[in-house]
Chain A
Amino acid sequence: MEKVMIECRGLCKTYRVAKREAGFGNAVKALFSREYELVRALREVSFTVQDGEIVGYIGPNGAGKSTTIKTMCGILTPDAGECVINGRTPWKERKKHVREIGVVFGQRSQLWWDIPVMDSFHLLRDMYKIEPVVYKRNLEELTELLALKEILRTPVRNLSLGQRMRCEIAASLLHDPRILFLDEPTIGLDAVSKLNVRRFIKKRNREHGTTVILTTHDMQDIEALTERVLLIGKGRLLMDGKLDELKRHCSTKKTLRIKYRGQVPKLFEGAALLEKQGFACGEAGPGEDPGGESAGELTLSLDPHVKSVSAAIADLAAQTELLDVSVTDITAEEMVAELYEEYQI
């Protein structure tokens, strides 16, 4: 039976932000009296997460993602609402709660800057009171999976961002947390490091059943890792559903990309041209005219309700010689852009 791991109901949080007009006069005035503006970071946010799920938490900057994560970590006390994680209210039983969670804030570091990574790990071991046997086992496993062997003795300041992030993730998992909160874990990483991090998170979830809550602006993270997505904007939870459903909600359109040789195919009903690119044929040498024969690449948007994918390809193939065809759904990136627009966030 599935077990509810996280249950949030009606979370509200308002920040008070000092505001003033620019300029010297106003700065002097602000020394004596300040004006404040209330920013409602969370308005009645409610959701539940099952044990062992990976949930992507997305939204534009300032939407309230980090506020939610920090509330779930027990760092922030909300103004109203309830949150029960693994049977505890995070901000009321902070110390007990945090023993069960691992946290990575991609933009900050939990490792001591001037000393080797290993020393930071030892400190974490003592803070979490991890049993020596468990610590040894976890350290070995993480060292192996995240390829840390060579870097554990290096001071953190000498690590590259990718190496550091692997160490940060290891640091957050030494104490076998049931839940892992990842706040932008791939920010600033190169392609290889991103893939490694994603693969590791997936594996961890599969093998240890760790529940993962992930915030990111990188939609490839979301596509690679999560099935379920929560969308937040202006402090409100706007959508909660499977990634595929969300995509379908936005658009059922397919993107059709073809390379062709021969005459430019004519478009038919249900298709719209997104991008067109001509290029010279392989046979034509430099300076030669490719002749009457043209070639190129077309990107089309296809509405499968008007014309099915196979009919569209058949139609195109009849008109010209197709060299390459690819059909894709809209990308998560496009989906998010559309959602942000739809909700005006």
Chain B
Amino acid sequence: MKAFKSIFLIRIINGLQYRAVAIGEVLMRFFWGLMEILAYAALFRMGSENFSMTLTQTVSYVWMQQILFVLFRGVVGDAEIYSTIAEGSIAYELVRPVSLYGRWFSQSAANRIVPTLLGSLPLLAIVPFMPGDYRMVFPASAGQILLFLVSCVLALGVVVAFAMLMNISLFYLTTHRGIRMIVSVTTHFFSGGMIPLSFFPDSVRRVVVLLPFASMRDVPLQIWCGTLSGADACRGMLLQIFWLGVLVVTGYAWMEQALKRVVVQGG
């Protein structure tokens, strides 16, 4: 466990070095969020009778989505894991007395947490003070905030466990480009990264919320903006736990399988 903590820490040390990246991240998230909110505001002005979320809820959803954008992203900064496999330095990772799955899991989680802390949390200091409709509203109760936090941790777990499947698939593929695009667009769309799942047509939504992607972002964000609470929130979180278990077990077993046939070429 200590080893994984250290791997996690060293990633944080590593990530703290890139200041320009952090500044860029803050600007990008802020303006992107603002743009989305302007679009939603325009939609809501045209009439919102059929919408399943209010404008306030949508605004809170969008801001929190931007703040936690990297945290819940299916494909992000795991470049060193890809290159480890592509360039063969995985040889070094395999001569350590540490489970490679655990190692990459910590690394991958850290790769999402560091930029979130550095780049996105500053937004937290801005968006609650935005004027009028553009303001992010906090959940009504402390209990709701607690549910949200727990759900965030679970969502991160699901995201990383899913990303691990992609990482392992790289043992079988020549390049990460194709699979990355596939994973990126699927996770983003079906987790509510483009528009909240609540805006999906009902029949589609009923299926989509059961998929692992919903556990990656939709559940915590819905809890945050108040569209998911009480028993519904707990059901959502149970589903997160279910997917986390399934994905970790699958990934772990697949990794063991992949390592048996790994071929480190050259050198």
Spell out A's residues near B (CB within 8 Å).
15, 66, 70, 73-77, 94-96, 98-99, 101, 103, 105-110, 112, 114-115, 119-120, 122-124, 126-129, 183-184
Contacts and interface: CB of A to CB of B under 8 A. Distances in A.
Given A99-B97, A108-B89, A127-B98, A75 B10 contact: no
B54 interface: no
Contacts of A129: 2-3, 97
A114 B16 CA distance: 11
Contact of A95 (B6, B87, B97, B260): B97
A96 B98 CA distance: 10
Given A99-B97, A108-B89, A127 B3 contact: yes
Interface of B: 2-3, 5-7, 10, 13-14, 17, 87-89, 91-92, 94-99, 260-267
Contacts of A106: 267
Given A109-B89, A123-B10, A126-B2, A70 B17 contact: no
Given A66-B267, A183-B267, A114 B95 contact: no
A127 B263 contact: no
B94 A75 contact: yes
Contacts of A128: 96-97
Given A103-B95, A126-B5, A127-B3, A70 B13 contact: no
B92 A108 contact: yes
A99 B98 CA distance: 10
Contacts of B264: 66, 70, 75-76
Contacts of A95: 97-99
A94 to B, nearest CB: 7
Contact of B92 (A66, A76, A105, A126): A105
B6 A123 contact: yes
Given A127-B96, A127-B97, A105 B10 contact: no
Contact of B17 (A107, A110, A114, A122): A114
A123 B267 contact: no
B14 to A, nearest CB: 5
Contacts of B263: 15, 76
Nearest to B11: A112
Given A96-B97, A112-B10, A123-B7, 14 more contacts: A73-B91, A73-B94, A75-B94, A75-B262, A77-B261, A94-B94, A95-B97, A95-B99, A103-B92, A107-B266, A115-B13, A119-B10, A126-B3, A129-B97
Nearest to B93: A110
Contacts of B94: 73-75, 94, 98
A120 B264 CA distance: 23
Nearest to B10: A123
B262 to A, nearest CB: 7
Nearest to B18: A114
Contact of A76 (B2, B87, B262, B267): B262
15 contacts: A75-B262, A75-B264, A99-B97, A103-B95, A105-B91, A108-B91, A110-B89, A114-B17, A115-B10, A120-B10, A123-B7, A123-B10, A129-B2, A129-B97, A184-B267
B13 A119 contact: yes
A74 B95 contact: yes
- Which of A66, A109, A127, A128 is most buried by chain B, counting CB atoms within 10 A of its CB? A127
A123 to B, nearest CB: 5
A107 B88 CA distance: 10
A98 B93 CA distance: 11
A101 B91 CA distance: 13
B151 to A, nearest CB: 30
A98 B91 contact: no
Contacts of A103: 91-92, 95
A266 to B, nearest CB: 52
A107 B265 CA distance: 12
A66 B263 CA distance: 11
Contacts of B17: 114-115
Contacts of B87: 108
Nearest to B16: A115
Contacts of B99: 95
Nearest to B96: A127
A109 B267 CA distance: 12
B267 A107 contact: yes
Contact of A75 (B5, B91, B97, B266): B91
Nearest to A155: B17
Nearest to A101: B95
Contact of A73 (B5, B10, B95, B97): B95
A75 B3 contact: no
B1 to A, nearest CB: 10
A98 B263 CA distance: 18
Nearest to A127: B3
